[in-house]
Amino acid sequence: MSADKRKPFGPQRRDAKELLKLVKVGDASAIGRAQKHLHHFDASRFSLMTAQHIIAREQGFTSWADMLRTEEK
């Protein structure tokens, strides 16, 4: 992934928290983002860890942990 497409870690954390908040209040766009990356979407079980996974996937990584390892390099 090119450096210009990646954001520093701080904004990604905020993005994940915002996604979690939006899913919890029923925002259709946020739910659509979640459904795109999850086989079984359940808003009542949507967690920060799930939101982080989606943010990482949207950035082109396989997982949040994979993204963190790349950011550390």
pLDDT digits (tens, 9 = 90+) for 44-64: 999 999 999 999 999 999 999
The answer, yes or no, to whether residue 2 has pLDDT greater than 80, is no
Tally of CB atoms within 10 A around 42: 9
| pLDDT tens per residue, range 30-48 | 999 999 999 899 999 999 9
Angle at 69 between CA 64 and CA 70, to 5 degrees: 95
Can you give the pTM of this predicted structure?
A: 0.82
* DSSP string covering the chain: --TTT---HHHHHHHHHHHHHHHHTT-HHHHHHHHHH-SS--GGG--HHHHHHHHHHHTT-SSHHHHHHHHH-
Radius of gyration (C-alpha) of the chain in whole angstroms: 12
